[in-house]
Chain A
Amino acid sequence: MIRFFADAAINPFLWAGLAAGVLASISCGVIGPYVVTRRLVFLASALAHIAIGGVGAAIYLAAMYPDAFGGLEPIHGGLAAALIAAPVLAVLKHRIKERLDTVVGALWAVGMSVGILLIKITPGYHTELMSYLFGNISFVTQRDLVFLAILSAVVVATAVVFHRRFLALCLDGEYAELRGIPVLATDIILFLLIAATVIVLTQIVGLILVIALLSLPAAISARVTTRLGPAMTVTFAVSALVTTIPRIVVYGTPVSPEAAIVLTTAGLYLAVVLWRRPDSR
Chain B
Amino acid sequence: MAETTIIRVEDLGFSYPRSRGPALQGAEFTLNDTEWVGLLGPNGGGKTTLLKLLLGQLAPTTGRIEVFGSPPARVRRRVGYVPQHAGIDPGVPATVLDLVLLGRLTGSSWGPFYPRADRERATAALEETHTADFADRAWRTLSGGQQQRVLIARALASSADILLLDEPTTGIDIHREKELLRLLERLNERLPILMVSHDIALVSHHMDRALWVDGAVHELDPGNLDSDSLEHLFHEEHA
Binding site for B on A (CB under 8 A): 33, 37, 39, 160-165, 167-168, 170-176, 178-182, 221-222, 225-231, 278-279, 281
Contact = CB atoms under 8 A, between A and B. Distances in A.
Contacts of A281: 138, 141
Contact of B93 (A161, A163, A226): A226
20 contacts: A37-B92, A160-B112, A163-B111, A163-B112, A164-B113, A167-B98, A171-B102, A174-B83, A175-B81, A175-B83, A175-B87, A175-B102, A179-B102, A180-B105, A180-B106, A221-B93, A222-B93, A225-B93, A279-B140, A281-B141
Contacts of A278: 91
A229 B105 CA distance: 18
A179 B106 contact: yes
B92 A228 contact: yes
B210 to A, nearest CB: 26
Contacts of B107: 179-182
Interface in B40-93: 55, 57, 76-77, 81, 83, 86-89, 91-93
Contacts of B93: 33, 37, 221-222, 225-228, 230-231
Interface of B: 55, 57, 76-77, 81, 83, 86-89, 91-95, 98-99, 102-103, 105-107, 109-114, 136-138, 140-141, 154, 158
Considering residues A39, A171, A174, A222, which has the most beta carbons from chain B within 10 angstroms of its beta carbon?
A171
Given A179-B77, A222-B93, A226-B138, A171 B112 contact: no
A171 B103 CA distance: 12
A164 B94 contact: no
Contacts of A229: 112
Given A161-B110, A163-B111, A173-B87, A178 B55 contact: yes
Secondary structure at chain A's binding surface: helix, strand, loop or mixed? Answer: helix
Contacts, number: 100
B91 A174 contact: no
A175 B79 CA distance: 12
A199 to B, nearest CB: 24
Contacts of A230: 93
Contact of B92 (A171, A175, A279): A171
- What DSSP secondary structure best describes chain B's contact surface? loop
A37 B98 CA distance: 15
Nearest to A165: B109
A226 B91 contact: no
A171 B111 contact: no
B111 A172 contact: no
Given A164-B105, A178-B76, A279-B141, A227 B98 contact: yes
In this complex, the member of B76, B109, B138 whose beta carbon has the largest number of chain A beta carbons within 10 angstroms is: B109
B77 A180 contact: yes
A150 B29 CA distance: 59
A279 B89 CA distance: 14
Contacts of B99: 171-172
Contacts of A165: 105, 109
Contacts of B113: 164
A105 B148 CA distance: 38
Nearest to A36: B91
Given A163-B111, A164-B111, A228-B94, A179 B89 contact: no
Contact of B89 (A37, A178, A180): A37
A231 B91 CA distance: 12
A185 to B, nearest CB: 11
A191 B137 CA distance: 29
A138 B138 CA distance: 42
Given A165-B109, A172-B89, A227-B93, 19 more contacts: A37-B91, A37-B92, A39-B89, A163-B111, A167-B98, A170-B92, A171-B102, A172-B88, A172-B99, A175-B83, A175-B154, A178-B76, A180-B105, A226-B136, A226-B138, A227-B95, A231-B93, A278-B91, A281-B138
A83 to B, nearest CB: 23
Nearest to B103: A179
Given A164-B111, A175-B86, A178-B57, A222 B91 contact: yes
Which of B91, B107, B137 has the most C-beta atoms of chain A within 10 angstroms of its own C-beta?
A: B91
A267 B55 CA distance: 48
Nearest to B136: A226
A33 B55 CA distance: 31
B92 A174 contact: no
